[in-house]
Amino acid sequence: MIDSMLTALTMVLQWPAIGFLVLGVFIGIWLGAVPGLGGILGLIILLPFTFGMDSVSAIALLLGMFAVVTTSDTIPSVMLGVPGTGASAATILDGYPLAKKGHAGRALGAALTVSMFGGVFGALMLGLSLPLVKPIILAFGSPELFMLGILGLTMVSSISGRSIIKGLISALIGLLITMIGYSDAVSIPRYWFDLDYLLDGISIVPVALGLFALPELLELATKDVSISRVPKEGTKGGGIFDGTKDVIKNWWLALKSSAIGTYVGMLPGLGGEIVGWAAYGHAVQSAKDKSQFGEGDIRGVIAPEAANNAMKGGALIPTLGFGIPGNIGSAILLGALTIQGIRPGPEMLLEKVHITFSIVWTIVIANVLAGFLLLFWCKQVVKVAYIRGHLIVPASMLFVLMGAWMSSASIGDWVVCLSMGAIGYIMKNGGWPRPPLLLAMVLGPLLENSFQLSIQTYDNFTWLIRPVVMVIIALIGIVLFLSAKGIVKTKKSKSGPSQGEGSQKNPAVSLPFTVLLLVAFIYAAIASLKWPKFAWEFPFVISFPAILLLLFAFYKDTREYFGERKEFPDLRSYLERCTQTIDLGNSLKFFSWVLLMITVSLLIGQLITVPLFIGIYLKTWGKYSWKFSIVYAACSWLVLYGFYDKILHVFWHQPWLF
């Protein structure tokens, strides 16, 4: 075994394998840092280049890129509150608030350090666990996967904001969105409203970018503030190496989160997005002092970043050992191995054990190299936190819009992004947590398929008494109990977060949104009844509890509304105060600006419209000179044309006027 490990290390370090590994690392850093790209796109682009390569070089290029995407995706999550990939979504909750406090360097230092640790841990577990994990994987059938998904949603819903009820409703909204389009069980289109775009369902990328990115960019644009609300000279203890010290201080949390990432990541179908949330939920539940989570607790960065990097090694365990891909990325890697003549299975532990260890060494070296490179570059990245907001918004909007466009190359992606931006703005200001909605969209297809398979395979609901299922149900009950207890304790002490996700209290915003959701879920329940059994079951199962929870939320919002209303002499003065609190006028102006840009793109095309609007924005909103605005717009056009058009070969919308 030792001889095989040393042989594999020598193979990886030999030329040209090490050169391809370094190239893959640089490509992965870029793909992770740009919202909307990610490792899947990288694998698709790089896979054809591996034809004709030797096995070790091909693995080095692909895994070198794929392993580090979840390291560099931390940069937009911390700096902009935008998930670089779905795996970094949980990092937003505390990473972005840290950046607002001027501690972006600390957040990035902790994230990159623990990412190296998590990546190495996952790779080592990959090497050690292959002979041992078969019983664990076989113990998880469709009932266990369904309940594990419910556990993940429950954990995220219960740690987001001041209301478990709103957290659970938010998760149910996400599940309902995943019901749009054709059902997997029966070829019946659901909730498509005669729009062809909706037949394929709604992609998670424009939803995530709209839900999180647009409300944050709106704030930068309307208030003209930098990412850090604290001047550079006013920050203390927010350096990169302070983050590294935080990881050493919280080494036990980093170790536990890495274990969670490895062993949740190896369960086929769950994907990488859930592990960050699971680790974050564990960090909150196990912490004695929970008051700073959501406002900038460094533990809220350490836990998900350790987990989502360790997940890569975990996801490869069933791929290499049994030929069962743990997620989409693993499925593409499985195809690449097959092309190279490598058949995953028992021979990976026998005749091809040197290939297995070359994969382990590739992940280890890639994570360490990317971590050190990013730690070195972070000093320059952190400076962005102190740049004027009007300089950041145009470039960020370009990458957000193009990230959404990469989903299906349809104007519908931009409309979804804008619509979810408006919903995200309402949820942010109305005390509705957004993370459960996003995670529910990730888990929705898995939950519906697992639910249908469980009903069909077992006699209706007899699968609920399976041992592992009963253990997970008990864990769900414990999570809800501890969360409710924590919220009650926080409300009594009045020491909970005031700025974190879902912590706002604004019944004038929340109440109309509650009514709108109640109408939507009632319609969803009634509309589903006309479909065949396997098409209507899951939407109805979602809608019925949502309606009950919304009635309770309506009651609470109504009480809070009339409680606040008493403090004002008349309705007009109360509404004026509410609109000022959420800066409604400037917010509508921002969304109108984005809507106008989308409309003009239909007429003259994106390659002209996006740079044009960037230039006009800088001149009218930012008050910059025409010369500066034109140069900035020209650079934006070069990015669109050079990178997206010539390198990625994006399909653009055909303008109506040309």
pLDDT digits (tens, 9 = 90+) for 312-353: 777 777 667 666 665 666 667 777 777 767 766 666 665 666
Angle at 47 between CA 44 and CA 50, to 5 degrees: 170
**In this structure, is residue 534 part of a structural domain?**
no
Residue 601 pLDDT level (bands cut at 50, 70, 90): very high
Mean pLDDT of 552-560: 90
What was the pLDDT predicted at 597? 92
Window from 177-191, 202-216, 221-235, 374-388 with minimum mean pLDDT: 221-235
Burial label, 250 (beta-carbon count in 10 A; 0-12, 13-18, 19+): buried
More confident residue, 544 or 293: 544
**In this structure, is residue 221 part of a structural domain?**
yes
Q: How large a percentage of the chain has pLDDT more than 90?
A: 13
Of the candidates 445, 444, 456, the residue with the CA atom closest to the CA atom of residue 534 = 456
What was the pLDDT predicted at 615? 92
- How far apart CA 107 and CA 101 sit, in angstroms, is 11
**In this structure, is residue 533 part of a structural domain?**
no
Does 254 score more than 90 pLDDT?
no
Three-class SS string for 435-454?
A: HHHHHHHHHHHHHHHHHHHH
What was the pLDDT predicted at 133? 60
What was the pLDDT predicted at 344? 67
Does 599 score more than 90 pLDDT?
yes
Burial label, 138 (beta-carbon count in 10 A; 0-12, 13-18, 19+): exposed
Q: How large a percentage of the chain has pLDDT more than 70?
A: 84
Mean pLDDT of 363-388: 80
Cβ atoms within 10 Å, residue 339: 14
Strands in 559-613 per DSSP E? none
Window from 310-319, 375-384, 436-445, 510-519 with minimum mean pLDDT: 310-319
Does 519 score more than 90 pLDDT?
yes
Residue 550 pLDDT level (bands cut at 50, 70, 90): very high
The torsion angle over the Cα atoms of residues 6, 7, 9 and 15, rounded to 10 degrees, is 150
- Domain holding 218, by residue range, is 2-226+238-505
What was the pLDDT predicted at 629? 92
The one-letter amino acid code at 656 reads: W
Window from 215-229, 350-364, 377-391 with minimum mean pLDDT: 350-364
Does 1 score more than 60 pLDDT?
no
Helices 251-265 and 104-129: crossing angle in degrees, nearest 10, is 50
- How far apart CA 179 and CA 175 sit, in angstroms, is 7
Does 388 score more than 90 pLDDT?
no
Mean pLDDT of 124-141: 66
CB–CB of 278/152 below 8 Å?
yes
DSSP string, 216-233: HHHHHHHHT--S-SS-GG
Does 271 score more than 70 pLDDT?
no
Tokens 């080095």, residue located? 60
**In this structure, is residue 16 part of a structural domain?**
yes
- How far apart CA 630 and CA 619 sit, in angstroms, is 9
Residue 422 pLDDT level (bands cut at 50, 70, 90): very high
Of the candidates 381, 84, 90, the residue with the CA atom closest to the CA atom of residue 228 = 381
Tokens 């009045």, residue located? 494
What number of helices (H) and strands (E) belong to the chain?
28, 2
What was the pLDDT predicted at 311? 80
What was the pLDDT predicted at 323? 63
More confident residue, 530 or 489: 530
Does 493 score more than 60 pLDDT?
no
What was the pLDDT predicted at 269? 58
Q: How far is CA 101 from the centre of its chain?
A: 22
Of the candidates 302, 303, 336, 319, the residue with the CA atom closest to the CA atom of residue 265 = 319
What was the pLDDT predicted at 4? 64
Token pair in block for residue 425: 């703005």
More confident residue, 587 or 488: 587
More confident residue, 650 or 337: 650
Tokens 């996952």, residue located? 122
Residue 518 pLDDT level (bands cut at 50, 70, 90): very high
pLDDT tens digits along 287-319: 777 777 777 788 888 888 888 888 877 777 766
Window from 222-226, 257-261, 495-499 with minimum mean pLDDT: 495-499
In total, the chain counts a number of residues equal to 658
Phi, psi of 189 (to 5 degrees): -75, 135
What was the pLDDT predicted at 129? 65
Domain count along the chain = 1
**In this structure, is residue 277 part of a structural domain?**
yes
What was the pLDDT predicted at 349? 60
Cβ atoms within 10 Å, residue 388: 13
Token pair in block for residue 604: 């003259």
- How far apart CA 38 and CA 149 sit, in angstroms, is 23
Alpha helix segments (H runs only) across 383-434: 389-405, 411-430
What was the pLDDT predicted at 470? 87
The torsion angle over the Cα atoms of residues 418, 420, 422 and 424, rounded to 10 degrees, is -140
Phi, psi of 182 (to 5 degrees): -70, 140
Token pair in block for residue 217: 């960019």
**In this structure, is residue 130 part of a structural domain?**
yes
Mean pLDDT of 38-48: 72
Please give the mean pLDDT across all residues of the chain.
80
What was the pLDDT predicted at 238? 66
**In this structure, is residue 473 part of a structural domain?**
yes
Helix (H) or strand (E) holding 79: helix 74-79
Residue 591 pLDDT level (bands cut at 50, 70, 90): very high
Window from 124-133, 176-185, 370-379 with minimum mean pLDDT: 124-133
Q: How far is CA 406 from the centre of its chain?
A: 16
What was the pLDDT predicted at 130? 57
- How far apart CA 272 and CA 379 sit, in angstroms, is 28
Does 83 score more than 80 pLDDT?
no
CB–CB of 227/276 below 8 Å?
no
More confident residue, 491 or 510: 510
Does 578 score more than 70 pLDDT?
yes
Token pair in block for residue 211: 């839900």
Token pair in block for residue 348: 């990976």
Helices 571-581 and 584-604: crossing angle in degrees, nearest 10, is 60
Say how many CA atoms lie within 13 Å of 225 toward its Cβ: 17
CB–CB of 275/265 below 8 Å?
yes
pTM of the model: 0.82
Does 193 score more than 80 pLDDT?
yes
Angle at 548 between CA 545 and CA 554, to 5 degrees: 135
**In this structure, is residue 528 part of a structural domain?**
no
What was the pLDDT predicted at 628? 93
What was the pLDDT predicted at 502? 62
- How far apart CA 448 and CA 444 sit, in angstroms, is 6
